[in-house]
Amino acid sequence: MKPKTRITPNSSPTGIAQPEHTKIYQRAIKVTCLLLVFASVTPSLHGEPRPGSAIRINASFPGGNVVVDKIEDRTVHIAPDLRGGRQWFYWNFEAEVTQPGRVNFVFPENAGAQIGVNGPAISLDAGRTWKWLGDDHARFRSVGRDSPAVPSDSFWYDFTAEHRKVRFSVGIPYLQSNLDEFIKRIGDNPHLFRDMLTKSRKGRPVALWHIGQPGPDAIPVLVSARHHACEALASYVLEGFLEEALSDSLAGVAFRKKYMLYAVPIVDVDGVAEGDQGKWRSPHDHNRDYGQERMIYPPVISMVELAKAKKIKLALDFHCPTLRMDIHQGFYFAGIRLPHIKNNMDELIGWMDEERPPAVTWSERDLMAKPGPSAPTGGMPFSNFFAYQDGVDFAATLESPFTQHGNGLDDNLARAYGKGLLRAWVRMEFISSKPTSVRLEWDTARLVAFRKSFTSVYQSKPTAAEAIADPYLSNAQSPALYRIEASNLMGMLRFRQRNYAEAFAYFEAALTDVHSTARQRALAASERARITCADSMRSLADLAKALDAFAAIPHPSPKQQAAVHAAAAAAYEIRDVFDKALIHARFWFNYAGRYDRGEALNAVANLLDKAGQPEQAIETRKQAVQILRKELDPVPVGVFGPLMAADLLDALNGIPTATVAEKKAAANIALNHKVKPPSVLRRIQVGLEGIK
C-alpha cells in the first residue's frame, strides 16, 4: 500500500533566532515534502503528467494542515493531519492544477463531519481573504438517511485558467498575521498597552493586551482565545470584542470607565502557527491544563499567575464547538452553573438578545454544567477552573460556531458579534456570590416583560397598548431603552392602522437615538423602509432614500431583509419600474424562508412577464414548482401546507405545458388539508377558474 503523504508547514517563530543546523533541517524537510507531494500527484517523476491529471497539494505555510492519501485523476483523497491526537476535523491546504477544470476532494469514510454547513472556506489570494464555497459544492456524510448512503464528506471546485491555485480550509483561518493586521488597523490606540505574557514551549511570544486604566474601582477582567488552535472563528469574535472596547463609542468609553481588561488573543501560538488541531493533544491540550498538579503549558501557568496578581473577577474564554451537530450551529455558553454565575449568565444572554447582530438569529444557550459537591480537581477547562477561584463573580466559555446556515457566518459577522458582546457586557450589572448582591438597575427580564405586555394587546386593544407606552414617551426622564422600545412599539401600532406619517416618526425617533440597541435599530430601519414602500404618496426619491438607509444597517436579519425587499418589489411594480422591482424580488427570494421561496419566485416570474421576458418567466415558475413539490413532500401539517399549495397552483398556471391533472393535484393539497384559511381557499378558487 502506498504510504500517505503528510504535509507539514514550515513556519518558524517570528523574530526568534534559530540555530543554523535547525534551519538546514527545516529546509530539507520542506524540499522532501514538496517532492513527496509532486510524486503523489503525477504518474512519474521522469515523464510528463497526463493531460488534466496533475494536481499539486501544498500545506507548507503557517496554519497549513493536510494528509494526502492518494490522487486518482481529478479526485484527491485527503484527511486532517491529527499528529498523534484523536479524530478531529481541522485542515487547511493549497491546491494547484496544471489544467483548469473540476477537482473532487474526498475525506475518509467513518471520519465524521469534515466540512461545515456552508462548505469549505476558499481563498484566491494566498489566504489574505476568504469566503464560503457554499453547501451546493459539498456532499455531506449521511449514512442511513440517503439512498444510496453518502459514506463520507466531499467537495468539488472548478478551477479556472485565472485561478489555478486556490486555498481551502474547514473554516476561515485566523493566524498571527491576522492579529498583526488587526494591530495595524487599530493603530496607535492610547487605550491599549501591548505586553508579552510569556513564551510558548517552542519559544514563540504569547501576547498580553491591557485595555483601560487599573485602579481601586476598576473591575479586572480576563479574556482569552485559541486554547484549541483550530478554533479560528473564536478569534474573530474576540477581535470584535477588543475593537469595541478600544473604540470611542458610547459602549467603549463606558467599558473603560468601569473595567480593566487583560486579553490573551492567542494562547496556543505554537499550534496556530503549525496548523495543529490543538484539541485532544496528548497528554492533554491547553484547555485541560488548568488545575493539573503540574501544569505544562507556559501560557496557562502565566494566566493563572496573572489572575491571582490582578484579582480577576470576571473571566471569559472564546472557543468554537464541533462542525455539524444541532446546538453547535448556534452560539452558547459553557462552564459551571454556580448560582451567581448562572444568574449573571442569564442576564448576559438577555442583553445579547438585544445587542447581537440581528443576522445571527439563533438565541444564545446556557449549557453550563451543574456544580459537583466540591470543587473539581485535576485537569479542567479555563471556565471551570476560574469559577471556583475566590472572588470570581463570572467565568464561562463562549462557543462560537464555525459558521451558520442562513447568514453565512464569516469573519465580518463574527467581529460584529464580538462588538455586540462588548455592548451587552457594558449593559450588564454583574452580581457576586454574596446573598446581599442584587441588581439595582432595570434588568432585561423587565424590558422583555414590557415588550410582551404591549404586543399582547396592540392588535385587539390599541387604546390599552397606547396606555402602556405613553408613560415612557411622555416622560423625558424615563429609562432610554424603554423610551426607544415604546417608540418602536407605537410605530408598529400606527403602521398597522396605516397612519404612515406617525409610524414613520416613531421609528425615526428609535433609529436615531444613540442609546438604542442593535435589535431596536434594525427593527426601526426595516419598518421605516416598509412604511415608505407601503405609502403610495411617497416619491421614488423617498423610496430610494429609505432603502439606502436600511442597506446601511449592519447585518439585519434574513426575515427583515426578505420583508423589506418584498415590500420594495411591490412598491416599484406599482410605479411600473420593473427593472428595480425585479432586483428586489430576486433579493426577496435569496432571503426568504423555506416556506416563502415559492411565493417569491412567482413574484419574480410575474415581473418578468411585465418586463417582456416570457421565456425567463416560465423557467422561473418551473424552478418554483421544483422547490414547492419538494417542500410539500410530505405536506406540512400547519398553515404553510395550504399556502404553498396555492403558490404551486399559481406557478403551474403560468406554465403552458402544465397539465390539468397537475393543477388539480396542487389544489387538492389545500382543499383536503385540515387547515383551510379563507384567503387560501379564495386563491385556490381563482386558480382553478379556466381549468376544464
The string of DSSP codes covering 615-683 is: HHHHHHHHHHHHHHHHHTSSPPSSTHHHHHHHHHHHHHHT-TT--HHHHHHHHHHHHTSS---HHHHHH
Give the CATH number for residue 28: 2.60.40.3120
Query: Which stretch of DSSP H or E encloses residue 395?
Result: strand 394-399
Low-confidence ranges of the chain (pLDDT < 70): 1-53, 143-147, 692
- Quick one: which of 203, 197, 211 has its CA closest to 304? 197
Q: Which residues of 561-594 are buried (b: 16+ CB within 10 A; e: fewer)?
A: bbbbbbbbbbbbbeeeebebbbbbbbbbbebbee
Query: Same structural domain for residues 500 and 385?
Result: no
Query: Same structural domain for residues 386 and 458?
Result: no
Q: pLDDT, tens digit, for every residue of 324-358?
A: 877 888 999 999 999 999 999 999 999 999 999 99
Query: Same structural domain for residues 409 and 461?
Result: no
In the block, residue with C-alpha cell 432610554: 480
Q: Are strands 101-106 and 192-199 parallel, antiparallel or unpaired?
A: unpaired
Q: What are phi and psi of 501, to 5 degrees?
A: -65, -50
Instruction: Give the number of residues written for the chain.
Output: 692
User: Rounded CA gap, 34 and 28, in Å?
Assistant: 10
Cell of 573: 411594480
In a domain? residue 634? no
Query: Same structural domain for residues 116 and 199?
Result: no
Which one of 150, 169, 188 terminates a domain?
A: 169
In a domain? residue 595? no
Contact 335, 384 (CB under 8 A): yes
pTM for the structure as a whole? 0.90
Query: Same structural domain for residues 333 and 418?
Result: yes
Query: Same structural domain for residues 301 and 234?
Result: yes
**DSSP per-residue codes, 139-166:** E--BTTTSSS-B-S-EEEEEE-SS--EE
pLDDT at 145: 61
Query: Which stretch of DSSP H or E encloses residue 104?
Result: strand 101-106
In a domain? residue 304? yes
Contact 565, 541 (CB under 8 A): no
In a domain? residue 671? no
CA torsion sign, 439 to 441 to 444 to 447? positive
Query: Same structural domain for residues 212 and 305?
Result: yes
- Quick one: which of 139, 109, 127 has its CA closest to 169? 127
pLDDT at 190: 96
Query: Same structural domain for residues 219 and 140?
Result: no
Q: Report the interhelical angle of 660-671 vs 678-688 (nearest 10°).
A: 160
| C-alpha separations of 58 from 47, 72, 377 in Å | 21, 17, 43
Query: Same structural domain for residues 246 and 370?
Result: yes
In a domain? residue 204? yes
Which one of 169, 197, 218 terminates a domain?
A: 169
| C-alpha separations of 39 from 2, 36, 57, 257, 577 in Å | 11, 5, 11, 61, 60
Cell of 643: 399556502
User: Rounded CA gap, 563 and 527, in Å?
Assistant: 9
Query: Same structural domain for residues 162 and 186?
Result: no
User: Rounded CA gap, 234 and 316, in Å?
Assistant: 12
- Quick one: which of 380, 329, 204, 209 has its CA closest to 276? 204
pLDDT at 146: 62
Q: Give the three-state DSSP class for 83.
A: coil
pLDDT at 147: 64
Q: CB-based burial of residue 375 (10 Å sphere; 0-12 exposed, 13-18 middle, 19+ buried)? A: middle
User: Rounded CA gap, 22 and 35, in Å?
Assistant: 20
Question: Which structural domain range is residue 466 located in?
Answer: 442-556
pLDDT at 510: 97
User: Rounded CA gap, 294 and 297, in Å?
Assistant: 10
Which one of 490, 522, 556 terminates a domain?
A: 556
Q: Give the three-state DSSP class for 497.
A: coil
| C-alpha separations of 109 from 73, 153, 170, 353, 372 in Å | 20, 8, 17, 39, 39
Residues 6+ away with beta carbon under 8 Å from 345: 333, 335, 337, 366, 368, 394, 396
pLDDT at 3: 46
Strands (E) across 145-242 are located at 154-159, 165-169, 192-199, 205-211, 219-225
Which amino acid does the sequence have at 519?
R
Tell me how many degrees the CA angle 560-562-568 measures, rounded to the nearest 5.
100
Query: Same structural domain for residues 137 and 239?
Result: no
Q: Is 187 left (phi over 0), alpha (psi -120 to 50) or beta?
A: left
In a domain? residue 452? yes
Query: Which stretch of DSSP H or E encloses residue 182?
Result: helix 176-186
Give the CATH number for residue 338: 3.40.630.10
Counted domains in the chain? 3
User: Rounded CA gap, 457 and 650, in Å?
Assistant: 35
> In the 8-state DSSP scheme, what is residue 65?
B
Query: Same structural domain for residues 88 and 18?
Result: yes
Q: Which residues of 643-671 are buried (b: 16+ CB within 10 A; e: fewer)?
A: bbbbbbbbbbbbbeebeeebbeebbebbb
User: Rounded CA gap, 529 and 507, in Å?
Assistant: 10
User: Rounded CA gap, 134 and 119, in Å?
Assistant: 5
User: Rounded CA gap, 309 and 608, in Å?
Assistant: 69
Contact 507, 549 (CB under 8 A): no
In a domain? residue 434? no
In a domain? residue 283? yes
| C-alpha separations of 22 from 13, 422, 614, 691 in Å | 13, 44, 70, 82
